[in-house]
Structure 1
Amino acid sequence: MTKEKSSLRIALVCNTAWAIYTYRRGLLRMLTERGAQVTIIAPRDRTFEPLMEMGCRCVELPVASKGTDPRDDLKTLAALYREYRATRPHIVFHYTIKPNIYGSLAAMLARVPSIAVTTGLGYVFIQKSRTAQVAKRLYRFAFRFPREIWFLNQDDHAAFVHENLLAHPDRARRLHGEGVDLDEFAFEPLPVREDFVFILIGRLLWDKGVAEYVEAARRLKARFPHARFQLLGPVGVDNPSAISRTDVAQWEAENIVEYLGEAHDVRPLVAAADCVVLPSYREGVPRTLMEASAMGRPIVATDVPGCREVVAHGENGLLCEVKSADSLAQALERMMTLPAEERAAMAQRGREKVAREFDEKNVVERYKGTIHAITGISL
């Protein structure tokens, strides 16, 4: 007998509530509309209020994303264990490194089924530090316990297999990105004007290739006065690779970039740009690029895991070498000097690719199927 769906209790755990609100609204809408009790467990930020307005319960979680003090991590583990014991969710989805590791352990201790979603490997697979090595050992131990482990791209899955981090390789699943709402991110024709606007959107981290972007901008502005280079996203975030507001202020003082701060709604800023840029060192499947392509913006990105899932070189954008300001500058110049009709064709192909491969509706169906398979509850 199928259980009543109104009794379904689901928790989503992340190192920022903002990421759950920004990237998984379609999932949250589906769950709350169908009567599920949804709990968001994350550090408190400005998105707690809109999440609660959607019908979610929000629980503040202590997570030291930048920290390496085991005492802080034990606080995260203990807080999650207490929450799971008290509320007995039918299933928990963990996102990002520390929730993946300590949440998986807490769920096992509380005897609650969990899914680990690796949204991108970040510093653990970019850096060769002792901290990264410890994180891999923790992954290897904690990933014995989730019912399934979801990877957003093939490269991340292969990296875990190569490093022997999966005790149960048969539990690995591929989720082709987290999807984009094609109605919300509707196609917009490219602007017609003298200026050419590039925009980099995301948390301002060195690992996102911001330094290479600024250096490429510095070189190109000298030769192309009509080129503008924008940065959109939070500075000084809780991440080992965070860029400070002082760094950004220096670039502004040199008249290299325009810093746009943060935006609740990125769509007007994407629509006002000619090209979206992400010179990242590694990604899961970057939401900003899916949204940009959905809106018909050509992309320049690095040829790295995640970015190459979204960008087909020469079709809907251009790929460049990672950590190379030279290669990035060449790609940006090529994009800027393409005939307008070629950029328009790229824009159209980008929209078609996202509609074909990254429609959020397919991702939501995947969650529904997994929830039913594990809990026996239909949505």
Structure 2
Amino acid sequence: MEKILLISPKDNNFFNFRSELIMKLVKDKFEVILVCPYGCKMDYFINQGCRFIDIQVDRRGTNPINDMKLIYNYFKVIKMEQPKIVLTYTAKSSIYGGFVCRLLNIPYITNNAGIMNNEGWLGKLMPILYKIGFQKASCIMYQNNEEREYFNRLFDYKLYYRSIPGSGVNLDVFKLKPYPNDDVIIFNFVARIVSIKGINEFLECATRIKNKYPNTRFIIYGEYDDKRYEKKINDLAGKGIVEYGGIKIDMKPYIELAHAVIHPSYYEGMTNVVLEHSAMGRVCLGADIAGVREGIEDGLTGYLFEQKNVDSMIKAVEKFINLPYESKREMGLKARKKMETEFNRELVVNTYIEEIKRIVGSV
């Protein structure tokens, strides 16, 4: 049985976005090895016959000692397992995992999932790290056009790549649901609670909109990646401006309750938040950035607003609030249709299987 090893910084990256691919590989008789920090969602894959190796990852840390430990741990595991191919996901896991595969001469497919606009020394360092980690990739999976063009320029158009619609969305899992009445309009925020996901702008928008439109609710779902926001959100919740919904393993019931999602992120590969809400027939209001704009047709399936611009966000939110009910509902239906034609997760799984066959032979 051939081994295939997947590296990710979190268990929910595998569970939420790669389950269909992983189960396809298990079905096709690969020995699937999942490498990430332990989380409860790994139990599902273990029960399905996958192997799990716990390697801790400081996803946003810049401590060189910790990063060297991570590289060493990846090296030990990959050298010991000798997989036929390695699949890497997100920047740090892809850079360091790719570097190790390069040293060990093991084929690997990279999925970086977006280009973050780093400033200062980190911004100067990232292109060097990308070259170190991605130079010998058997294939790079690009989630949006901006990411593709950045790397094509960085590597002088010499790397082989495929373009995919992000992680896609499972249309059988995220089913179209009836649109709720709009006596009270519910806006979701679904993301890690950290500045780069636009939480500051969301909180300011909620404060100003709630004062003008009391028949609105702003509900935040996600983990506190930055604990400094906990007090601020609790204070606003105490004033009735926002609600904290916590961390949800299954977001579908909460998407169903909502009328729209607001996604003010600063950068994305291809945001699953937009894809999942759209698949269930909900309107999406998102920052006009790569990885978000591809999932929203401005004025048809939702609205785009200027990144980091609260006034622009509020304008989009008010425009949505003031739509007639049937127009809101119709927007949601068009969002679902867009997912069916452009973002079906089967497209992503099929692309990966094609590349694995090309690189290692029959699957």
User: What interval of TM-score do these two structures reach, taking the shorter chain for normalisation?
Assistant: over 0.9
Matches within 5 A, 1:34-73: 34-73=28-67
Query: In the alignment, what sits opposite 1:376?
Result: 361
The reply to whether residue 104 of structure 1 matches residue 72 of structure 2 is no
Per the normalisation by structure 2, the TM-score is 0.96
Which string of whole-angstrom CA distances, capped at 9 and with x for unpartnered residues, describes residues 18-39 of structure 1?
1111111111121112221111
**Cα deviations by residue, 1:21-72 (Å, 9 ceiling, x for unpaired):** 1111111121112221111101112222122122211111132222212221
In structure 1, the residue matched to 2:163 is 174
Q: Which residue of 2 aligns with 1:301?
A: 286
Matched residue of 1:109: which SS? helix
From 337, 344, 347, the counterpart of 1:362 = 347
Give runs of aligned pairs for residues 123-142 of structure 1, distance below 5 A: 125=117, 127-142=118-133
SS of alignment partner, residue 170 of structure 1: coil
SS in 1 for 2:277: helix
1:192 pairs, out of 181, 197, 202, with: 181
The one-letter amino acid paired with 1:196 is I
Q: Which residue of 2 aligns with 1:248?
A: 233
Aligned counterparts of 2:228 and 2:257: Cα–Cα separation in 1:
25
Segments ≥4 residues shifted beyond 3 Å? none
8 A contact 1:8–1:377 mirrored in 2 = no
Q: Distance in 2 between matches of 1:168 and 1:49?
A: 41
Matches within 5 A, 1:10-21: 10-21=4-15
1:1-379 matches, within 5 Å, as: 7-122=1-116, 125=117, 127-162=118-153, 164=154, 166=155, 169-236=158-225, 244-378=229-363
Where does structure 2 lack aligned partners over 5 or more consecutive residues?
none
Within 1, Cα distance between the matches of 2:8 and 2:182? 41
Aligned pairs, how many?
363
% of aligned pairs identical?
A: 29
Letter in 2 for 1:279: P
Instruction: Specify whether residues 148 and 354 from structure 1 end up closer, same or farther in structure 2 by C-alpha distance, changes over 3 A only.
Output: same
For structure 1, the residue ranges without an aligned partner over 5 or more in a row are 1-6
Q: CA deviation at 1:91?
A: 0.7
Give a deviation string over 1:150-200, Cα, whole Å, max 9, x none.
1100011122344x2x26633232112111111100000110141110001
Instruction: Look up the equivalent residue of 2:231 and give its one-letter code.
Output: T
Task: Tell me the CA shift for residue 212 of structure 1.
Answer: 0.7
Normalization by structure 1: what TM-score?
Answer: 0.92
* Superposed CA offset, 1:279-314 (max 9, x none): 111211101111111100011001110111100101
Which amino acid in the other structure matches residue 230 of structure 1?
I
Farther-moved stretch of structure 1 (278-287 vs 58-67): 58-67
- On the 8 A contact 1:206/1:243 being kept in 2, the answer is no
Q: Given residue 70 of structure 1, which amino acid in structure 2 is its aligned partner? A: P
Paired amino acid for 1:187: L
Is this contact kept in 1: 2:135–2:159, CA < 8 A? Answer: no
Contact kept, 8 Å, 1:120 with 1:156, in 2: the verdict is yes
Q: Distance in 2 between matches of 1:216 and 1:244?
A: 16
| CA RMSD of superposed structures (Å) | 1.5
Aligned match of 1:4: none
